[in-house]
Structure 1
């Protein structure tokens, strides 16, 4: 019995120690909805994987830029990269509240980043965990 209590206390302590602000308030992934403006039949690919036509939603890692490829028959392929930016507020809170452990967890899991919605008007922040990406596929005249 005593061994179980000790193990449970240890697991609970580790779960508190190995969290940080970035992980708790956003996580290492976010929900991204990709919309192709005025092209409901355009195929959407991310990292070579087809996600849908016209609009697609999936989980994406925070620590990598989002590279979206849009294709429609009879039109040129368009590739658009949505860059990431540093989550300064969460980073500062992690350092103050969790110290070096919080810093390491945020950087290691990728929770220190977010889509660069302030510098790119095609990215719309819905919440800390939800973003919308709009791809302008005006090259396709169909």
Structure 2
């Protein structure tokens, strides 16, 4: 799917020259070497105008899993940002619905497993969130989220986190 949404120009150089677009949902991977884990997975939803974005992720920093929402007035790469991959555009009129869906994704207790048998963590929360957004037709995936996770052209340590 293509869009005529203008890029946020000043961000283009920050992510290997790829422009960050308004109203787009991105999967963002952060390196977590200090914690002995491969990556932390998050969703980044850019504003319809301006330079800001809202980060949605599931974290267990407090000892239990919680959905955390952070707003950033300007998007820029950090030292821990490994990857920023566009998932789809979210039309302005569906932004509130997307935020509601993300807020309602089930949070499981530490040590729990999701239906697939995988442990519940930031990655499985993200997969559930993207699946729900696709199911509600807020975004349109070109492939099933589980198939995307098994792509052979991605490094093993990203797909097996």
Greater RCO between the two (CA within 8 Å, min separation 6)? 1
Q: Which has the larger radius of gyration?
A: 1
Task: Provide the TM-score with structure 2 as the length reference.
Answer: 0.28
TM-score of the pair, normalised by structure 1: 0.31
